[in-house]
Amino acid sequence: MKIHLVILKVATVILIIRCSFIFVNKKILKLQKMSDKNIPTVNQQTLLEQYLLLAKSAKGAAAVELIKQVLVAPGIYVFGELLDMPNIQELNATQFSPYYQLLHLFAFGTFSNYLENKSQYPELTPAMINKLRHLTIVSLATREKCIPYSKLLKELDMKNLRELEDLIIDVIYADIVRGKLDQRNGRLEVDYTLGRDIKPADIDIIVQVLQEWSDSCETVLNNIENQIIKANTMKDNHLKLKQQIENEVSAIKKNLKAQAQDSDSVEEMREVLQVEKPSKKKPNTKGLGYSMAGYSPVS
């Protein structure tokens, strides 16, 4: 019974690993197709669509205004597809290059990146600073599930803990990060976070990591299959041993039964012989003869 349960559990694990293996392969293929183009999520795509349509005709200063609008637009946190638009790409070779770099920063960078190279970007409005801080929290949440307040204060260049908690609450209400504030331990506990744009240079790394994980799953799968073979062999040997023992027990029972029958027959024979055995002692008729003749034996 235990062997059957083990085999059932192993089969379940194999099924799960096979499903994961198929899922990873699909993800690898999808990422390989994305290597030349960043594709935002469905919700982000819907919100970004109107700006993509405008970007097809906007050039120069109009494209700059479009960038300013999209950077403060609520609900938009991915910018890779807009960054790939030809009219936006052209800005990088003009006097409007800082705005192209700013859009690139919002697509892939963090607030600390902005502070390190502040002179390369145009001045940010409060709304832009707020959104870039939101994106910075998203980036941290993709790497850590428990983010200390101290790290958030440093990365966001904030001094006031109350302002930090208000910012985190705004992020949670915007549904780009899900989690809770752990005020006792001074940290943000992350349950879910929105995915940001993927740098083209990072796609090969992601594919490599997924491929290594896929190879590991394949190795585990092979090991489990080998364990199944061993378990089946043990099961067969167990059944053979069980049958052998049952046969031996059956043979012993037959021998004991036969011996018991022989013993009963011998006992019955003894009883019969004991009953039929004649007495060998002769009766004493000598005295009887004298008495009958009227004489007494001579002393």
**Torsion, CA 42, CA 44, CA 46, CA 50, rounded to 10:** -150
Separation in Å, CA 58 to CA 67, 77, 95: 10, 21, 16
Place of tokens 């059957």: 4
d(CA 198, CA 50): 22
CA nearest to 99, candidates 72, 131, 66: 66
96 vs 278: which has the higher pLDDT: 96
Q: What is the pLDDT of residue 34?
A: 41
CA nearest to 105, candidates 130, 69, 132: 132
- pLDDT > 50? residue 299: no
Angle subtended at Cα 91 by Cα 85 and Cα 97, rounded to the nearest 5 degrees: 130
The two most distant CA atoms of the chain are separated, in Å, by: 175
Kindly state the helix (H) or strand (E) to which residue 76 belongs, with its residue range: none
117 vs 208: which has the higher pLDDT: 117
Q: How does residue 8 score in pLDDT terms, banded at 50, 70 and 90?
A: low
- pLDDT > 70? residue 224: yes
Separation in Å, CA 164 to CA 155, 170, 186: 11, 10, 11
Whole-structure pTM over 0.75, yes or no?
no
Q: What is the pLDDT of residue 68?
A: 93
The count of other CB atoms within 10 Å of the CB of residue 32 is 13
Q: Tens digits of per-residue pLDDT, 129-164?
A: 999 999 999 999 998 999 999 999 999 999 999 999
Contact (Cβ atoms closer than 8 angstroms) between residue 141 and residue 174: no
Q: Tens digits of per-residue pLDDT, 259-278?
A: 877 776 767 777 767 766 55
Q: How does residue 9 score in pLDDT terms, banded at 50, 70 and 90?
A: low
User: How would you class 256 by CB atoms within 10 Å of its CB: exposed for 0-12, middle for 13-18, buried for 19 or more?
Assistant: exposed
Q: What is the pLDDT of residue 32?
A: 45
User: How would you class 156 by CB atoms within 10 Å of its CB: exposed for 0-12, middle for 13-18, buried for 19 or more?
Assistant: buried
For a pLDDT cut of 90, what percent of the chain falls above it?
38
> Across residues 82-106, what is the average pLDDT?
92
Across the chain, mean pLDDT equals: 80
182 vs 273: which has the higher pLDDT: 182
> Across residues 18-39, what is the average pLDDT?
49
d(CA 233, CA 250): 26
H-type alpha helices, the chain? 2-33, 42-55, 61-72, 80-83, 86-90, 97-108, 111-116, 126-143, 149-155, 161-173, 200-276, 286-293
